[in-house]
């Protein structure tokens, strides 16, 4: 979903390289995009933030109201703190800038389809800087993080997927996800982005 034809055509060319991807429809604005989503029920949505008639965050808000749970990946040129924070808070599962590599785009799509959230390191920095103090108060000072948990926190801060972390640490993906669940509980958060933000604020990772 993007108001620039050249961007949509470029994305189609990139995505069609991979046979497992099928582009079912495209839209030039948010209003048109919502109609397409309801008609085609796609597995994933690539969404720009600033578009005519209805912007990206408005689209996500309406999807939430209609309880349409299709994962949304923001793909935009705008690296603005307020937009980032709002999109992630509304439930965007990925947030990439348009100068990303095709490998990172493929990796993000594959990871988000599995139900995970992926944010690029530069986006994480923006999110960390704007992370509210309210969340920080929920962290228990009693929790001690193991060395492996710290390694996993550093890995997700770098944008690594559960699969990559599992390969690097010679663990199963299920084990990595179990570690992540434990980390979320200790930090009092519910997502990767919040976990990394809190870990930096509490100086668990530097």
- DSSP string covering 155-186: HHHTT--HHHHHHHHT--HHHHHHHHHHHHHH
pTM above 0.85, yes or no: no
Domain covering 5-129, topology: Rossmann fold (3.40.50)
Instruction: Please tell me the distance from the alpha carbon of residue 149 to that of residue 71, in angstroms, as a whole number.
Output: 27
* C-beta of residue 118 within 8 angstroms of C-beta of residue 93: yes
Q: State the pLDDT confidence band at 141, using cuts at 50, 70 and 90.
A: very low
Percent of the chain at pLDDT above 70?
82
* C-beta of residue 41 within 8 angstroms of C-beta of residue 70: yes
Average pLDDT over residues 154-174: 86
Burial class for 68, CB neighbours closer than 10 Å (0-12, 13-18, 19+): middle
| Average pLDDT of every residue of the chain | 78
* C-beta of residue 102 within 8 angstroms of C-beta of residue 124: no
| Domain residue spans of the chain | 5-129, 133-201
Pick 57 or 124 by higher pLDDT.
57
Q: Which of 156, 141, 148 is nearest to 187 (CA)?
A: 141
Domain covering 133-201, topology: Arc Repressor Mutant, subunit A (1.10.10)
């Amino acid at each position: 979903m993007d108001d620039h034809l050249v961007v949509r055509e470029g994305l189609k060319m990139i995505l069609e390289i991979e046979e497992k991807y099928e582009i079912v429809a495209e839209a030039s604005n948010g209003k048109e995009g919502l109609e397409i989503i309801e008609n085609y029920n796609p597995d994933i949505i690539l969404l720009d933030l600033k578009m005519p008639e209805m912007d990206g965050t408005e689209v996500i808000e309406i999807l939430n109201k209609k309880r349409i749970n299709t994962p949304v990946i923001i793909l935009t040129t705008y690296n603005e703190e307020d937009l980032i924070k709002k999109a992630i808070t509304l439930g965007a599962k990925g947030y990439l800038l348009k100068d990303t590599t095709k490998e990172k785009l493929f990796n993000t799509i594959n990871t988000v389809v599995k139900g995970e959230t992926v944010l690029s390191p530069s986006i994480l920095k923006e999110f960390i800087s704007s992370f509210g103090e309210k969340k920080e108060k929920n962290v228990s000072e009693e929790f001690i993080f193991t060395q492996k948990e710290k390694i996993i926190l550093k890995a997700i801060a770098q944008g690594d997927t559960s699969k990559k972390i599992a390969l690097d640490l010679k663990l199963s993906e299920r084990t990595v996800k179990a570690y992540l669940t434990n980390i979320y509980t200790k930090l009092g958060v519910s997502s990767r982005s919040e976990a990394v933000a809190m870990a930096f604020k509490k100086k668990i990772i530097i």
